[in-house]
Chains A and B, each alone.
Chain A
Amino acid sequence: MSAAALARAPDAGCTEAPVLRERGQREVFCGLTGIIWLHRKIQDAFFLVVGSRTCAHLMQSAAGVMIFAEPRFATAIMEERDLAGMTDANEELDRVVAQLLARRPDIRLLFLVGSCPSEVIKLDLSRAAQRLNATHAPGVRVLNYSGSGIETTFTQGEDACLAALVPEMRADPAPGLLVVGALAEVVEDQMRRLFAALGIGPVAFLPPRRAADLPGVGPGTRFLLAQPFLAETARLLEDRGARRLAAPFPLGAEGTTAWLRAAAEAWGIPAARFREVTTAGEQRARTAIARHRPLLAGRRITFFPDSQLEIPLARFLSRELDMQPVEIGTPYLHRQHLAEELALLAADAMLSEGGDVDRQLDRCRAARPDIVVCGLGLANPLEAEGFTTKWSIELVFTPIQGYDQAGDLAALFARPLDRRTRLMV
């Protein structure tokens, strides 16, 4: 089925579908939120947000449970006098960084993360990073990116962070596969085993688990995006000569197979060998997914714009679980990176980009979907109105990619519906 689907003309599915573009209140996180998973992913990196008390408050509130095992992120909270003069702000930043590095001598990579206020007052963090590099080299490398809400939406923060790493990658003309996008360690290990069995390699991951393991990049590099929100990172990798392997994202059995196949074709792996390696995993995924189909098949689902994972998720849920997308909202639609996904979506799916939360709530109330995927600010109010919801943040905090997580991914959508049927209160 999947092979036939992939062979469709590029104008198939939702490729040419109209998109409702709206401007209004956007109920989304800013890019700083990505730090909550990135700071655990790169084990010797530290994220210093240069921002306001609001940024610090967001970080601890979005983390929900405060991760008190000494988080590898903090905020340099700007105060009145930092706004008075730039010299002072820069001196203050140098002082705060010195204080931080003295307390955390294990840190090898420090990200200065720009915020809305630092961007608005035009505090130049790239120059600050240069200056601090001179002071703290060679023990600590200082980089910068912006996670501000005026420039980034939620997962775009990861894009900005990875994009900041690309110029740091050493030139390496040798052929190799690069998997781009933060994945759970268990997923990475599964992918490594599959690529090894296929004879594809060497394989490297961006971001790496440790700063020193940052892979090389060059004209021999072929990369697979593991996440759909990495537009800028992909562009910079392409500038370094790497080539993106176009594929759907590795969600569900079909998505994972197509994603692996893109690499297998680039490496010239015979089709028979590919099937030999992937059949067992794909079958396991299909079995695990099938357990949830009775609860999910035929159910209507609406996505509020959040993580940019909405389109790949809608593709997985509609094709492998027979769910019916009502509205698929996404904060930003990258047509090129999502071309393979759009081709697989049913042509009648309604796509919306950007958003006006009050208008989308009106549409949601009119359409009465069986399940609504939305952010934390909307979930309980919608539940109180009688909707079943799935909080979208769980989808970026849970291992969902690959064959052996496909069942877990389906379960995330099945559980709220299952709960509805159990509760008698």
Chain B
Amino acid sequence: MQLAVWTYEGPPHIGAMRVATAMLGLHYVLHAPQGDTYADLLFTMIERRGDRPPVTYTTFQARDLGGDTAELFKTAAREAFERFQPQAMIVGASCTAELIQDDPGGLARALGLPIPVVALELPSYQKKENWGAAETFYRLVRGLCAPPAPRAEGRTPSCNILGPTALGFRHRDDLREITDLLTRMGVAINVTAPLGATPADLARLGEADFNIVLYPEIAGPAAAWLTRAHAQPATKTIPIGLGATREFIAEVAGLAGLDAAPILAAETARSAWYSRSVDSNYLTGKRVFVFGDATHALAAARMATEELGFTLVGLGSYAREQARELRDAAKAHGIEATISDDYLAVEAAIQAAQPELILGTQMERHTAKRLGIPCAVISAPVHVQDYPARYSPQMGFEGANVLFDTWVHPLMMGLEEHLLGMFREDFEFHGEAAPSHLGAAAATATAAPTPPATLTWAAEAERELGKIPFFVRGKARRNTERYATEHGIGTITIEALYDAKAHFSR
């Protein structure tokens, strides 16, 4: 048993719903108790979709358990077929139905429906949402893709784009950005899936030359199967950040037999110049903590360090499946990765690292609010605010621009930070104030931690500490106390404070 207040991922059948809702002409019959229909609101409220997810729930109740829940499933499946006339159906069980072992796959087969029915086995007590999405997509691709056929010679190179789903973090906009980029490169898009694909489209997947894997958490297993069964290579680079986008272009060009040089010479992101411009000097070495799904966390760590000049003080993910890659990436920055799906453990890691900026999920946004640390959201789990009305991709050249703006905006502007350092006691422009362009939302002052028993702060040193802007004060306090302990100082004076500052200055 795991004590959870909030979770980063839903159960695996939510992943299956994300695939089903992304597609057209597919219907999901889910054996589930009354109440599991809450999942519809993820799509209709958080993502603000105008259609109900294509899901029929059996919604059994206690009185059905004594009777025939299997019959209930068959009725629901038959009626869903008659009402929605899908091209194909997926069937499965949520956590409770898994326990009553009705075998939705077998029951659906017994109905003899005139369409393909793909049975899903999603172990709810072991696996989570992203795994469920990946498994569902893999089963659909395997079940619906036509046998390999010879590809015509001499035609335009073509690819499939795999991975975008409903309820994805900016999947809609990433897809548009990457589709446009591939089109400019002269690569034809054979099928995009799951988002916007029909079961008939999945049958045509084998016709492409190679696959673009946008979100390996979701498309990884399906792409690996297509490599094995249809000899389609797949991209490895995730085009988040300018450097990664350029590598992605080179990788795609290699797979497509095209020359990447013209597009690499012609295109770039404005973020590169903005980052080099002198105004961005103040971003240098800002301490940043990165947490999210593995794909977004790894990409953000790279962009934060290579393209904004930040210092990485924390890197982590709730995705245990990709723990090794994250550990390696963290090691390269001289830190240890935080691999946890307990948001309180992540909060503790953030507090210990004392970052000046958090790039995280909605969970870390709340942690940041509580700790008074600027934050930008880079990954699911999602919130209604993660579906902006405007075009806001994370991938490609425009994605790099969006990320530059999104990450810099929460920070104190360069000159403002200097003025704050100079006039710390100004009554309306003081160290507790939030960045002035972010309105009246003052940071929550956190209580000062108790120093070790062997240490005391002289009153004037404590006052001097108070003049340091709040977002670095905790770090200054800790460093000074560490310095004092290491140097056998019992009472921290102003002198000791500045000695410590000199000792630890970077």
Question: Footprint of B on A, CB under 8 Å?
Answer: 24-33, 52-54, 56-58, 60-62, 64, 66, 68, 71, 73-80, 82-83, 89, 92-93, 95-96, 99-100, 116-117, 119-121, 148-151, 153, 358, 375-381, 383-384
A24 to B58, CA, bound (A): 7
A71 B5 Cβ-Cβ under 8 A: yes
Smallest CB gap from A358: residue in B: B83
A53 B34 Cβ-Cβ under 8 A: no
Q: Chain A residues near B60 (CB, 8 Å)? A: 150
B362 A58 Cβ-Cβ under 8 A: no
B52 A74 Cβ-Cβ under 8 A: no
B50 A384 Cβ-Cβ under 8 A: yes
B1 A77 Cβ-Cβ under 8 A: yes
Of B48, B58, B79, B125, the residue contacting A52 (CB under 8 A) is: B125
A25 B3 Cβ-Cβ under 8 A: no
A-contact 0/1 string along B93-125, CB 8 Å cutoff: 011100110000000000000000000000111
B343 CB to closest chain A CB (Å) equals 9
Of A53, A95, A121, A381, the residue contacting B50 (CB under 8 A) is: A381
Smallest CB gap from B370: residue in A: A68
A380 to B49, CA, bound (A): 7
Q: Which of A27, A32, A93 has the most CB of B within 10 A?
A: A27
Interface status of B505 (Cβ within 8 A of chain A): no
Of A62, A92, A150, the residue contacting B34 (CB under 8 A) is: A150
10 sampled A-B residue pairs with Cβ under 8 A = A29-B38, A53-B10, A53-B128, A54-B96, A57-B7, A61-B46, A62-B41, A148-B33, A148-B35, A380-B45
The majority secondary structure among interface residues of chain A is helix
Smallest CB gap from A74: residue in B: B5
A3 to B13, CA, bound (A): 54
A324 to B303, CA, bound (A): 59
Of A82, A95, A379, the residue contacting B44 (CB under 8 A) is: A379
Known contacts A25-B58, A25-B59, A32-B35; is A53 also within 8 Å of B95 by CB?
A: yes
A120 B125 Cβ-Cβ under 8 A: no
A27 B3 Cβ-Cβ under 8 A: no
Number of A-B pairs whose CB atoms are under 8 Å?
Answer: 183
A388 to B1, CA, bound (A): 44
Known contacts A116-B33, A120-B65; is A150 also within 8 Å of B96 by CB?
A: yes
B36 A377 Cβ-Cβ under 8 A: no
B35 A82 Cβ-Cβ under 8 A: no
Interface status of B42 (Cβ within 8 A of chain A): yes
Smallest CB gap from B381: residue in A: A60
A99 B362 Cβ-Cβ under 8 A: no
A388 CB to closest chain B CB (Å) equals 15
A74 to B3, CA, bound (A): 7
Smallest CB gap from A357: residue in B: B37
B36 A61 Cβ-Cβ under 8 A: no
Q: Chain A residues near B277 (CB, 8 Å)? A: none
What would 19 more interface pairs be, CB under 8 Å, given A26-B37, A68-B6, A74-B4? A29-B37, A57-B10, A58-B38, A66-B6, A76-B4, A77-B2, A79-B1, A80-B125, A80-B126, A92-B1, A96-B3, A120-B65, A120-B99, A120-B100, A149-B34, A149-B36, A377-B45, A381-B50, A383-B50
A25 to B50, CA, bound (A): 20
B242 CB to closest chain A CB (Å) equals 33
Q: Chain A residues near B125 (CB, 8 Å)? A: 52, 78-80, 82-83
Q: Chain B residues near A66 (CB, 8 Å)? A: 6, 362, 366
A25 to B49, CA, bound (A): 20
Q: Chain A residues near B10 (CB, 8 Å)? A: 53-54, 57, 61
Q: Chain A residues near B37 (CB, 8 Å)? A: 25-29, 377
